[in-house]
Amino acid sequence: MNEEQRKQQSQIKQVNPSGEKDNLDRLKQKTSDDFIKYFETTYEAPNLRKAQKRGKQEVKYHDDFAIDEQFQGLGVGKKYLIRTYGCQMNEHDTEVMSGIFEEMGYEPTTEAKEADVILLNTCAIRENAENKVFGEIGHLKPLKVENPDLIIGVCGCMSQEEAVVNRILEKHHQVDLIFGTHNIHRLPQLVHNAHLSKERVIEVWSKEGDVIENLPKRRAGNIKAWVNIMYGCDKFCTYCIVPYTRGKERSRRPEDIIQEVRHLAAQGYKEVTLLGQNVNAYGKDLDIEYGLGDLMDEIRKIDIPRVRFTTSHPRDFDDRLIEVLAKGGNLMPYIHLPVQSGNSQVLKLMGRKYTRERFLELVGKIKEAIPHASFSTDIIVGFPNETEEQFEDTLSLYDEVGFEGAYTFIFSPRDGTPAAKFDDKISMEEKKERLQRLNAKVNAYSAEAMKQYEGQIVNVLVEGESKNNPDVLAGYTEYSKLVNFRAPRSAIGKIVPVKVTEAKTWSLNGEMVEETAEVK
């Protein structure tokens, strides 16, 4: 719809308020038997037994992605908006979908009112993530009523869950399009169908996607970039929905990854983060002997100042990787190593396949090889029937490792996962109280880590203006510490030395200095 039509539409709405009811009725009719049939043939609910048996078939690589001629230009004069929830993988998927939209001629907008297509790229990891999305779907309803041509789509991890799709079908008639994490490359066709048809369009493949190279991307910035190295997860931790929503582990070919990083370096990017749900399993599905350590050993030779990777699984973190990380250079010494719990019995119930002792051994090995390395982690409190003593093991492990940061969560039962069926006698009140105690520790360690920088000079990759004050610039150190400091805007996009004047709990304040001597 163009501007003129939109204006007319809103005028019509003002003089004809009953139009709203007509639109709602039309939306309700969209739950037709036809597409429910379609949905049933293309979609399967998460199923542990089936999912764990998967993975025998070979992954196919496709290098020939192209937007079909008939969809090119479909978006000319139209705008798209993608709201992203959840992890970096989703943020990067949004960059790919943005790239596809823009190749179709769509322009981005941040205003929902201006958009012709709104996609919610969703996260299923915890219940509160899902609640946020349902809240947003509700907020979008008046827009759809006002403008029936608006397309509202739900994609990402939630769309891989049967219960979610059913709830949308039954209750949220404003949603026109639902597609899964393996269907992103089908976006042109799907949006086209949604534009044309008066039916809802649903395409959720439960079959793991192949690896599709050369998808267009519109990266969110020109300083730091995400690079997928693998998709999916085969770990099946008992609490986690990811192996169902993201499918089996599929590694990209090393040459494709290396070429992408080289290209980013040539474009002037200063930092890449290699992405995967379980990056340490990289290469296990390739028919060559090649792992994350080998890949990092190649990538460290590329002329890009900073290389990070996330997320690691302690179980697969091998000696080869440690040996390569110890070579330093552009490989950043700040390692995100989710532990989840400090108690071996809980770890066993979580299906993590390592013990507290093995985890500490690994941390010791890394520290020995890279004495200046430091760590952040993820922790779940209130796993079903976690006792006070078991929780205290998590607190003491935190002390032993001396993590500098942590993402902490209360266990959230996810439909279809084994832990959701575990009987649980621990009250939510108690879980919240534990989370508070853990967070107090996390804050104290972060503050202590920050304090050691006072008076020191740190190298900061300057990303832009500080969120709260446009006169102040902000960026991150090698150890991912946020630094706010005064400097000319010409520093943006560069790595500059900054003298730290004040340490806060989660950030540092400082002043840019000229010389790089004694950089911490």
Measured from the CB atom, is 249 or 256 closer to ligand 5AD?
249
- Could you tell me if 83 and 119 are in contact, meaning their C-beta atoms sit under 8 angstroms apart? yes
46 binds ligand 5AD (CB under 6 A): no
From the list ligand SF4, ligand 5AD, none, partner contacted by residue 125 (C-beta under 5 to 8 A by kind): ligand 5AD
* Angle made by CA atoms 41, 42, 48, in degrees to the nearest 5: 100
Binding test (CB under 6 A) with ligand 5AD, winner from 94, 116, 120, 126:
126
DSSP-H helix ranges across 76-221: 88-103, 127-146, 162-171, 187-196
From the list ligand SF4, ligand 5AD, none, partner contacted by residue 278 (C-beta under 5 to 8 A by kind): ligand SF4
DSSP one-letter code for 314: G
Binding to ligand SF4 by CB under 6 A, coded x per residue (else -) over 206-245, reads ---------------------------x-xxx--x-xx--
265 binds ligand 5AD (CB under 6 A): no
Q: Report the 10 Å Cβ neighbour count for 229.
A: 23
Instruction: Write the CA distances from 251 to 162, 233, 286, 488, 491, integer angstroms.
Output: 27, 10, 7, 42, 36
- Nearest approach in angstroms of CB 182 to ligand 5AD is 20
Binding to ligand 5AD by CB under 6 A, coded x per residue (else -) over 217-256, reads ----------------------xx----------------
- Nearest approach in angstroms of CB 406 to ligand 5AD is 9
From the list ligand 5AD, ligand SF4, none, partner contacted by residue 394 (C-beta under 5 to 8 A by kind): none
155 is in an annotated binding site: no
Measured from the CB atom, is 90 or 147 closer to ligand 5AD?
90
CA dihedral 142, 144, 148, 154 (to 10 degrees): -170
Note every long-range contact of 490-495, with CB atoms under 8 Å and residues 24 or more positions apart, other chains counting: 491/462, 492/223, 492/462, 492/463, 492/464, 493/222, 493/223, 493/268, 493/270, 493/462, 494/270, 494/461, 494/462, 495/270, 495/305, 495/459, 495/460, 495/461, 495/462
Tokens 């002043």 correspond to 511
Measured from the CB atom, is 248 or 431 closer to ligand 5AD?
431
338 binds ligand 5AD (CB under 6 A): yes
Two structure tokens written together for 502: 């004040």
Tokens 């039954």 correspond to 170
Measured from the CB atom, is 261 or 275 closer to ligand 5AD?
275
The stretch near ligand 5AD (CB under 6 A) out of 16-24, 35-43, 181-189, 410-418 is 410-418
Comparing C-alpha atoms, which of 172, 216, 162, 180 is closest to residue 90?
A: 180
Per CB under 6 A, residues contacting ligand 5AD are 125-126, 239-240, 338, 340, 378, 380, 409, 411-412, 414
Per CB under 6 A, residues contacting ligand SF4 are 233, 235-237, 240, 242-243, 277-278, 313
